[in-house]
Amino acid sequence: MSGAESTSLGDICEVNLSYLILAQRLLRDNYAAGMFRLGFSEDIANIVLRLSPSQLVKLAGSSSLICGFRLRDHDLLSILAPDVLGGVLQQAHSTILLSQNSVEQVI
């Protein structure tokens, strides 16, 4: 494995672990809002909540990204760009568009 490849895998592991820790925190703070923000079904949310620290580390060690980005369409990207709608309206519109997108469950 080359140095660049090793660095990339390490970066993926770090992103995965950060994402899983954030997901658990969001779900613990407000279960329904966390599910919505993460795009999780109730089954996935329950699994993530039950993961122990050692299980989080093992899952994060995957060579693939666990999280899926929902920035796939032009309309959503243009709304998230600065100065498109501005302020609260921009946030509300992007939230509506994000909630309409189906999210691929990787876990």
pLDDT digits (tens, 9 = 90+) for 19-40: 999 999 999 999 999 998 898 9
**Res 106: pLDDT:** 40
**Res 79: pLDDT:** 63
**Res 73: pLDDT:** 61
Joined tokens for residue 97: 């568009």
Architecture of the domain defined by 1-67: Orthogonal Bundle (1.10)
Segment 50-71 shows an average pLDDT of 88
Taking the whole predicted model, whether its pTM rises above 0.85 is answered as: no
Alpha helices in the chain (DSSP H): 3-29, 31-38, 42-50, 53-60, 74-80, 87-100
**Res 97: pLDDT:** 66
Residue 9: pLDDT over 80 = yes
The answer to whether the CB of 47 falls within 8 A of the CB of 107 is: yes
Spell out the domain ranges in the chain.
1-67, 69-107
- Give the integer Cα–Cα distance in Å for 8 and 64: 10
